[in-house]
Every structure is written in C-alpha cells, then in structure tokens.
A and B are shown apart, each in its own frame.
Chain A
C-alpha cells in the first residue's frame, strides 16, 4: 500500500479510515471512485487504463449516455421493497463502471462509499457493465466514519455481465453498532459470463439484511458467491445468496463462513434454482459459534426444474471445537491465541478467487478487524 498520498484532494481523516476498509493508493488501482454522504467527490481512471474502462458518477453517466436508462431498474424492480422504492424516488449518486469489450484490467478498480454525517440515510445506485470478453476485479468499500454513530445505508447495485466476460466483485462493509444496512444487488449474466461476488462484513452492525441475486440467463454462465461474516457485539446479519440458473449448463457455487459471538445473530440463506438443462450448483455454509449467547442459522434451498440438474449442499454449524483449541495449545499457544488463530483461519479470504495482491491486502483487513 504505497503511494497513498496521491489521493490528494481527499482529507486525511477520510483516507485513513478508507484504507482500513480495503481502499488503496491510486497507482495500484485501475480507477478510483469516492462517494461521501450524498456527493461523489472523486472519480478517476488510472492513465494506464484510459479507454479500457469508464468510471463516473451514475448521474453524470445517465446524462452522457441515453442508453444507460435501459440498465436502470432492469435487474432489480423499483418496487421490490420499501428500500428500493426510497432509492428510486431519490438518490444521491453512485458509480457507473464499464469495462470495455475485450479489455483485461489487471489492476482492481475501487469504489468507496462513506458516511460521515450523523443520522444520514445514504441512498446510492450503482451500475456495472462488463462488456463482452472483458476481465476485471472490483473492490467496493462501504463504511461509516468512526465519528458517526447512527446511519442507514441503502445501496442498489445492478451488474451486467456480457458474453464471455469475467468480473470479480468484492464488497467490504465496515459499519457501526447502530447502523442499518440494506444493499440490494442483482446481476444478469449472458452466455459464458462469469461473476464472482465476494462479501466481507467484519465490524459490528445493528441490522444488515441482503439477498443478492444472480440471473444466469446465458448458457454456461457461472456465478460464485463467497461470504465472510463476523457477527459480534449484538449484530444481526441476515445474508443470503440467490442464483437463478436459467441458462443451460449454467453453474452456481456458494461458500459462506460465519462466526458469531457476543449475542450476535447470523442467518445465512442460500437459494440455487436450477431452471436450465444440466445446471449444476453447490452451496456450502460453515458456521462457528463462540459463546452461548449467540445464534447461527443456515437455510439452504435447492430447486431443480429441468433434466440433468444437479445441486448439492453441505452445511455445518457448531461451537468452536475444543479439540482444535487443545491441539493448538500443545503447540505452545495460549487458549486465547488458539481461538483467535482458528477464527482468522476460518475467515480465510483465499476462498474468494482474488488476485494474489488483493488477497493479501484483504487478509490484512480481516486480521485488523478480527483483532480489533
């Protein structure tokens, strides 16, 4: 994480916290986007990738491209729930990202959505278009500044994966104990498109509910959902992943790791709906409960509607294993060190299929948050 100072226009007190939520210096990113409270304050594409990607505020993009309205509220219905209705009535901005056809973006793109105003209800709408045969990694950090106690975040994200495109989309959330969070995301995949969605929530949150969906409409399209959830200090996390496999031969894979302690509740949902011939899906949930005050529930749903559909799941939820703790203690660790090592190992970002440097960065983010 060198060259941090380039994001010069942005105050230090903002950057410092953003860096801890996965944001990095501009030179290591293909593009950088900052939206704070209700305004986009920064949006820039790295010179190396000019012409290969577009990155701007969604409102500016809607003015620039009349065709963009065909992507607005197409993957998510405006009237899906009270939160989508609120954002459709009024929103402050969000990002528009477009990866141009056949462009391979070797550096991650980054977006940071931050809340700095007490009691704000932040409403954003994001659209990502991965054009045909493009390849990119995006990391989005949504967070609340440490000085803000109370807030709400409503985020709409519509993602379009065109034929043969690959998009790895990682979202890191860092909220606070009194914050309500309602992201609403949907992705539409064309033939042979691949979408990897990684979600990491490590800080306490009052109430988080999300159930992102991927419509694998194209033949042989593929979606992976990976979640790392750490519920502590009375957090409530209700996090699902939904894959509608409409295209023949399409695939879905879901891996969730959930840790709950200190009176927190985590519900991990997963739905794979095999609606095309020869669809395959696998859903895996592992949950670790650290104390008797917490709660974890895994709700897998598998649906098969066509011949050749094959969908499986495995789930294991339970208390942290004494045998594992004792084993590590025979290797000279204290009990607390053993527990924290097991937790850190459990929240292993290697499940997310990220480029090595990003994986290492996120490992540090996890260690920092889990240790805090």
Chain B
C-alpha cells in the first residue's frame, strides 16, 4: 500500500486546450497521486469545467498541446469510453435529461449488470440511502431537482467503482442535508477504496465532510496556488481570487 499511495494516478502535463477557437487553458500542469483528494477552486469562467472535460475526453474540448497521463498511460488521444473503462468517472454539473432511459437502467449500466438483473440488497440499501428508490423508474434527470440530480450522479459514480472521481460542483444547488449526504458518501467511498478525487467547488462547506489534502486555484487558464484547501477557501473569502493567488507563501513545496 505504501508504494501505491505515492504512485501517480493522473498527471496533466503542460496542457493547452481550446474550445471553438478560444484558448481556455494554457500550460496547465498538475498531478494527483493514489488516494489523494484535490479541490479545485476558481471563479466562473476560469476554465474548471474545461479542464475536467479535457481529462474525461469530451471531443468539443480540443487539446492543442501537452499530455494527460492516467496510471502512467498517455490517454490524451483516447475516447471517453476508453478513459471511463480505465477508471475515470465524472459527475456532471448539469447532466442531460434522457427520455426513456430510467435511473435504474443507468445504475445497472454503472454496476455492469444486465438490464434484467436485480439490484443486490447492498445496492438497494445504498440507493435508499441516497433517497433515490422512488426515482428508479423515472426517466433520468427528467423533472429531477438540483439535489436529486446530484444524488443520482454521485450514486452512479460510486457504482462505477472508479479509481478517479471527478466532480463538477457537487455542492451547487443542493440543500444542506443533501450536501452532507453526498459529501459523506464521497468521503466514505474514497477512504474505503483508496481511490482519488478531483472536486470542483465554490463552497467551503463540502470541506467539512471531505478530507482533501490539496487545493488549488484556477484563474485565467493557469493554476496559481497549491495549498491546504481550507486555507485557500478562507483566503478567497477574505481577499477574493485575485488576492488569494498573490499569496505565494502557502504554495506547498511539492508544486
């Protein structure tokens, strides 16, 4: 275990990404090791969603230069499907509504189950813990509230058993109770599986439940600060993003 923990899971090397002729990320580098949770802060429009879209391989986000490595393999040219099969899973901020595909269908897909197979007792309990039992036969995300969408996304991720969880604002539009539920479940999964997480957030509250070692700030397409996420969040609250990134002293040596 000790060796595994120090191994690199995701490595982003000097990444330059454009979308529709606009360069959004320019020279991003960072690394997530096995068993680490990272928090990514940044104002709206700073490129956070672009970064995770490039990591999961959405074709609209074009990588102009730089590379993405997952478990030592260059995945920069791999398809979404290949990356997801390698163990990268993403919880979207705004997942699509799909007519005719039920939440149950999707959960079974994530579990690698046949559509005719039933959920195990353990799986049923987890669905119930996420308060989604009544939604199993509903079309995915159709008429779901913000909190219901988030709960459905996180549950799908946990069923996928990924090595890396990527979460785009799991706490936005979510009530306090749902936030606690979601964050505790994420922390529980990460702790028990030894997997890693990359979490985008605007809010500090999620840090109460998720034990993340590192945080960073994305601004103007560049990563500016690596530090304890709680310190970063406190600084952002006090000084704003601009003030926060000037504070070089907190940058950990590793970066």
Contacts and interface: CB of A to CB of B under 8 A. Distances in A.
Interface string A160-183: 000000000000000000000000
Contact of B96 (A327, A333, A344, A348): A327
B48 to A, nearest CB: 17
A335 interface: yes
Interface in A314-372: 321, 323-324, 326-335, 341-342, 344-348
B80 A326 contact: yes
Contacts of A333: 81, 109
Contact of A344 (B81, B92, B100, B106): B100
Given A330-B56, A345-B101, A335 B81 contact: yes
Contact of B58 (A326, A331, A346): A326
A348 B89 contact: no
Given A330-B89, A331-B109, A332-B160, A342 B84 contact: no
A327 B90 CA distance: 9
Contact of B99 (A330, A331, A335, A346): A346
Interface in B29-85: 56, 58-59, 79-81, 84-85
A347 B99 CA distance: 9
B100 A347 contact: yes
B185 interface: no
Chain B at the A interface: mostly helix, strand, loop or mixed? mixed
B196 interface: no
A286 interface: yes
A17 to B, nearest CB: 25
Nearest to A321: B96
Given A333-B81, A333-B109, A341-B101, A327 B160 contact: no
Contact of A345 (B56, B96, B98): B98
Contact of B160 (A328, A331, A345): A331
B227 interface: no
A332 B58 contact: no
A329 B79 contact: yes
Interface string A71-111: 00000000000000000000000000000000000000000
Interface centre among B80, B106, B110 (most CB of A within 10 A): B80
B98 to A, nearest CB: 5
B140 to A, nearest CB: 9
A334 to B, nearest CB: 5
A136 B144 CA distance: 35
Contacts of A346: 99-100
A330 B100 contact: no
A342 B81 contact: no
Contact of B109 (A286, A324, A332, A348): A332
B95 A286 contact: no
Contacts of A332: 81, 84-85, 109-110, 112, 160
A329 B100 CA distance: 17
A2 B89 CA distance: 43
Given A323-B96, A324-B96, A330 B101 contact: no
Given A345-B99, A346-B100, A348-B100, A331 B106 contact: yes
Interface string A54-75: 0000000000000000000000
A286 B100 CA distance: 12
Contacts of B195: none
Q: Which 8 A-B pairs have the closest CB atoms?
A: A345-B100, A329-B80, A348-B100, A345-B101, A332-B84, A329-B81, A323-B96, A324-B96
Given A327-B92, A332-B85, 5 more contacts: A327-B95, A331-B110, A331-B156, A332-B110, A346-B99
Interface of B: 56, 58-59, 79-81, 84-85, 89-90, 92, 95-96, 98-102, 105-106, 109-110, 112, 139, 156, 160
5 contacts: A326-B58, A329-B79, A330-B84, A332-B109, A335-B79
